[in-house]
Amino acid sequence: MSILEVTNLTVKLPDGADRPFAIEDVTLKVEKGQILCIVGESGSGKSVTAFSVMGLADRRALTPVSGTIKLDGEDILDIDDARLRKLRGEKMSMIFQEPMTALNPVLRVGDQISEMLEIHTDLTRSQRKTRVIEAMTDVRLPDPEKMYRSYPHQLSGGQRQRIMIAMALTLEPQLLIADEPTTALDVTTQAQILKLIKDIQRRKGMGVMFITHDFGVVAEIADHVAVMKHGRIVEQGSVAEVLGAPKDPYTQKLIAAVPSMIPPEREVATGQIALETDDLVKTYGQAGLLGQGRVVKAVREVDLTVRRGETLGIVGESGSGKSTVARCIMRLVDPTSGEVLINGENIASLREGQLRSHRRDIQIVFQDPYRSLNPRRTVGQSIVEGPVNFGLSMNEAKARAAELMQVVGLSPDALERFPHQFSGGQRQRICIARALAMEPMILIADEAVSALDVSVQAQVLDLLDDVRKRFDLAMLFITHDLRVAAQICDRIMVMNKGEVVESGFTSTVYANPQHDYTRALLAAAPGQIGPAA
């Protein structure tokens, strides 16, 4: 029996949007005890589908124009707000991507879960507390009695997501909607949360509608898959059908774009050493006025070398210190101690004036393509800024910018446009062009493809690999994504809590990880039974 039946649902976008409908003619079903994964890239309408089912979509902006959404036989689109509020929580509930913002930071988590019961049931205060503790035990939170009284900021990301799940499940809904619930989490935590959702779903026989952009996650958790593109479902079926033998070309393309966990054979780079660090340390916080203050060791004695023409990957979870290493090398933060050698010269303690001439040798591409270009300046102005700083005339710089736009696969006309006129992937290309305009020796890519959709990600990765060969760059590639690292890095370094726990050739490390943490990371990467592996 189906818990949720969406039939021919079409939702209109406001006038002036890039397409008339957010979702068009969407038909899908969630059966009892089944996990339906809706997969798609950004802008595919997967979240609009979820929000429409929850009745959370703003009906003035997103107007359902036809179709039905039947929850346990009742059409969500026909009922009034009071009834809808009752259904939310009792029959369906939702968990979100960002557990920190979905929880109220000034209320204890126990009280926040308890609020659900207060609104929807007649239980007394002590009965509610018992139920909340039960729910928290259910999601395997350690020491629920104590955790009941904690505030959200005292918990880790994974624990916060567990609280959200406990909150969603206290009223035992028949349908759970999960909107990218693991996207903001580290891989090891993600693996635990996925397992938890699956366990609870089995135990309670719920229907789950799980929204994700990650085929690895799909392979891990789904019974049934619907692939969305531009507001339409292009393919749906059982997980074996869709992943094993995709029929639609778009699905095939998406699955093919998922990077494989098996590193390809790579030649050993023999170029000269371009970048070297020696005992690099970065400590945050100062010793207090009276004795020991709070000191955080972000990076502990990191040694690395990168040769020209070689890509070194730094892999780790959030807080491992991998980005701090990059920022120390860039001298965007000052290292506490140790050496950063560029072409043999130590720049770790140079003053800004002396440092300036070295700046052009080393360039960086950041993670967030929306914030790394000044929105008030044209693409051209952003690209020529660096070369002009180092004495190139405006005309020469413009000519170089036009050339580089072609190298990164954009039209030179685009130089006159502003960043908001480009998509994320295009902006990342622009950032790469800006970095190359300096004619650097070393290129740092700090999570440069993490914010991109998988099909775009593959293109930008190809571009990075291409420019590395073309300009004989030494590349430092920082990522949390083991699949991406497998594809692009010659050697990798695994970092945990500021320390390098393992390093070596990518193929060796993946095939035969030595350190426990590396093993845990590799095991946690989702979807290893997936199509790409």
Q: Which residues sit at the interface with other proteins, rule CB under 8 A?
A: 16-19, 41-43, 330, 332, 352, 356-357, 359-360, 362-364, 366-368, 371-374, 376-377, 382, 385-386, 389-390, 408-411, 414, 417-418, 420-423, 425-426, 429, 431, 434, 438, 453, 455-456, 459-460
Amino acid letter for position 67: G
- Give the list of residues 6+ apart from residue 456 with CB closer than 8 angstroms, or none: 41, 423, 424, 425
Query: Closest distance between other proteins and the C-beta of residue 427, in Å?
Result: 9
Q: What are phi and psi of 9, to 5 degrees?
A: -75, 130
Q: What are phi and psi of 169, to 5 degrees?
A: -100, -10
Query: Closest distance between other proteins and the C-beta of residue 485, in Å?
Result: 21
- Give the list of residues 6+ apart from residue 59 with CB closer than 8 angstroms, or none: none
| Residue nearer to other proteins on the CB measure, 74 or 334 | 334
- How many residues are present in the chain? 533
Q: Are 364 and 436 in contact (CB under 8 A)?
A: no
The DSSP secondary-structure symbol of 8 reads E
| Residue nearer to other proteins on the CB measure, 295 or 332 | 332
Place of tokens 């950004």: 42
To the nearest 10°, report the CA torsion of 368, 369, 370, 373.
Answer: 110
Query: Closest distance between other proteins and the C-beta of residue 423, in Å?
Result: 4
| Residue nearer to other proteins on the CB measure, 204 or 232 | 232
Compute the distance between CA of residue 517 and CA of residue 357 in angstroms, rounded to an integer: 39
Compute the distance between CA of residue 533 and CA of residue 525 in angstroms, rounded to an integer: 11
| Residue nearer to other proteins on the CB measure, 422 or 477 | 422
| Residue nearer to other proteins on the CB measure, 17 or 296 | 17
| Residue nearer to other proteins on the CB measure, 172 or 403 | 403
| Residue nearer to other proteins on the CB measure, 224 or 429 | 429
Compute the distance between CA of residue 445 and CA of residue 453 in angstroms, rounded to an integer: 17
Place of tokens 């990076």: 299
Rounded to 10°, the helix 125-138/109-120 angle is 120
Query: Closest distance between other proteins and the C-beta of residue 177, in Å?
Result: 24
Query: Closest distance between other proteins and the C-beta of residue 134, in Å?
Result: 40
Q: What are phi and psi of 502, to 5 degrees?
A: -160, 145
Q: Where are the alpha helices (DSSP H) in 390-500?
A: 394-407, 424-437, 454-471, 482-488
Q: Are 477 and 66 in contact (CB under 8 A)?
A: no
Query: Closest distance between other proteins and the C-beta of residue 342, in Å?
Result: 13
Q: Where are the alpha helices (DSSP H) in 261-335?
A: 322-329
Query: Closest distance between other proteins and the C-beta of residue 198, in Å?
Result: 30
The candidate with the shortest Cα–Cα distance to 453, out of 312, 253, 261, is 253
Query: Closest distance between other proteins and the C-beta of residue 258, in Å?
Result: 16
| Residue nearer to other proteins on the CB measure, 250 or 517 | 250
| Residue nearer to other proteins on the CB measure, 148 or 366 | 366
Query: Closest distance between other proteins and the C-beta of residue 358, in Å?
Result: 9
Query: Closest distance between other proteins and the C-beta of residue 359, in Å?
Result: 4
| Residue nearer to other proteins on the CB measure, 70 or 360 | 360
Query: Closest distance between other proteins and the C-beta of residue 372, in Å?
Result: 4
Q: Which two tokens stand for residue 402?
A: 């036009």
| Residue nearer to other proteins on the CB measure, 246 or 425 | 425
Q: What are phi and psi of 483, to 5 degrees?
A: -70, -45
Query: 127-135: long-range contacts at Cβ-Cβ below 8 A with a sequence spacing of 24 or more?
Result: 131/170, 132/166, 132/170, 135/166, 135/167, 135/169, 135/170
Q: How many CA atoms lie within 13 A of 282 on its CB side?
A: 26
